[in-house]
Amino acid sequence: MSLVIAEVNGAIGTITLNRPKVNALSGELLEEIASALTEMKAQNLRVIILRAQRGAKVFSAGHDVAELPTNGRDPLTYNDPLRQIVRAIQLHPCPVIAMIEGSVWGGACELAMSCDLIVAAQNSTMAITPARLGVPYNLSGILNLMKVAGMPIIKEMLFTARPVTAQRLMESGVINHVVPPEELESFTQQLAMQMVETSPLVLRILKEELRVLASAHPITPDGYERIQSLRREVYDSEDYQEGIRAFLEKRKPEFHGR
Ligand code: LCV
């Protein structure tokens, strides 16, 4: 069974997450998203909509925890499939709209925030969960979150690992539109059509200009190495092992800060 459903309607492509396990982002699922994006790029589609199955209670449960390494390796390296798909969306030559219904967890929040716009149903939420799992989120991932949301809401989401409503996220500038669930599809289609009517060349250039400018963050080699050493402290820790183990054993983790 396909883990994503790719559909084309005129100049608009739709990629629907379709993994029975609450759309947990396994390498296989992420590779299928990447393939769908590549095919849609070849068809010169003008807007892509990324969504979950209609009526989904969970848009995506985030990174597949069972695929997070526990052998002292960095769990979120440059070539991790989630890192690859985030870059693929950011580099895709046309706008990608995340159409959210249900709850969004962990790395799936970054996946949605790496899209160009987010349209969410009123009853949807987002929760960024590394602190709940003991995971050392990586530098570009944190930067992607910072590009989209201000420090206050990002710190609250990272420090509490608790779901935040779509309404609050719209008030914080993370989500573009919050609509009643029954209007979600039609509203998103209308928004996509507004973009289809503009110049694809200008949209492609603007999207890439904004990506380059938003990524222009001076960081010294010393600063980079400090962040990497902090992250190693986490993924080499007992807390990281405990976070993953507790999740897989379906129990609350007991963190001891080491
Ligand atoms: C693998 C899963 C998952 C899952 N992976 O259904 O951002 S970071 O740094 O944290 C990053 C590393 C990351 O993204 O980590 C993942 C963060 N995600 C979460 O913390 C969400 C974890 N999942 C949940 O809280 C619940 O599953 C939700 C609320 C999403 C859905 O709850 P619901 O009661 O509807 P279950 O919990 O029963 O889940 C259904 C099946 O999916 C598995 C889960 O273990 C269960 O498997 P079994 O049916 O085999 O028991 N599952 C859920 N999330 N991220 N597997």
Q: Which domains does the chain have, with CATH numbers?
A: 4-182+192-196 (3.90.226.10)
Residue 37 C-alpha from the chain's centroid: 15
Any ligand 1 atom below 6 A from CB of 61: yes
63 is an active site residue: yes
Any ligand 1 atom below 6 A from CB of 24: yes
- CA gap 45, 13 in Å, rounded: 6
The residues with which 164 forms a beta bridge, in sequence order, are 126
**Beta strands 117-121 and 177-179, pairing class:** parallel
In tens digits, the chain (258 residues) has pLDDT values of 799 999 999 999 999 999 999 999 999 999 999 999 999 999 999 999 999 999 999 999 999 999 999 888 899 999 999 999 999 999 999 999 999 999 999 999 999 999 999 999 999 999 999 999 999 998 899 999 999 999 999 999 999 999 999 999 999 999 999 999 999 999 999 999 999 999 999 999 999 999 999 988 888 999 999 999 999 999 999 999 999 999 999 999 999 999
Which three-class secondary structure state does DSSP give residue 98?
Answer: strand
What is the reported pLDDT for 247?
96
137 is an active site residue: yes
107 is an active site residue: yes
Name the strand (E) or helix (H) holding 225.
Answer: helix 221-235
What is the reported pLDDT for 103?
98
Catalytic choice (13, 106, 107, 243): 107
Q: What global pTM score does this model have?
A: 0.95
**Cα of 24 to ligand 1 centre, how many Å?**
7
**Cα of 18 to ligand 1 centre, how many Å?**
15
Any ligand 1 atom below 6 A from CB of 162: no
**Cα of 94 to ligand 1 centre, how many Å?**
31
Atom 56 of ligand 1: nearest residue by CA position: 64
